[in-house]
Amino acid sequence: MAKYLMLKHYRGAPCPEGFVPMDQWTPEEISAHVQYMHDFAAKLEKTGEFVDAQGLAPEGVWVRYDGEGRPPVTDGPFAETKDLIAGWMVIDVDNYERALELAGELSAAPGAGGKPIHEWLELRPFMAAPPTITE
């Protein structure tokens, strides 16, 4: 089994034809989208492929160590694309092909008018542990 992170972005990827931003959806369309996400996760729980998922608020800050005392906090730096992560899901699947299949299915979540949003998802494998040396 291999773990993959599927990242949902508010923006940053190419927009599909007919794209309608979520802030222009009706409350019913937003509810249908969220329900699709819950149903998708429930399906993966049954197959043992679901690990975790969370939505993220658009607000956030950057923090870093800067010597003794209070760490500096800022609302930047910003990614060049002005990208913002909306949420993520971690899956644990048998192979890369299955991860691609699930990311494609998740990309079909409904949006405005109940039509699939064809959302771009970033699919990233977790780093594997380095090989151990045995004597």
Predicted local confidence at residue 25, as pLDDT: 92
Q: Which domains does the chain have, with CATH numbers?
A: 1-57+80-123 (3.30.70.1060)
For the stretch 6-48, pLDDT in tens is 988 766 567 777 788 888 999 999 999 999 999 999 999 999 9
Q: Are 25 and 31 in contact (CB under 8 A)?
A: no
Q: Characterize the bridge pairing of strands 2-11 and 84-93.
A: antiparallel
For the stretch 51-83, pLDDT in tens is 999 988 777 777 777 778 777 776 666 554 445
In angstroms, rounded to a whole number, what is the distance separating the alpha carbons of residues 132 and 72? Answer: 38
Predicted local confidence at residue 56, as pLDDT: 83
Residue 105 has pLDDT above 70, yes or no: yes
Q: Rounded to a whole number, what is the distance in angstroms from the first to the last CA of the chain? A: 27
- Angle CA(42)–CA(43)–CA(48) in degrees, nearest 5? 95
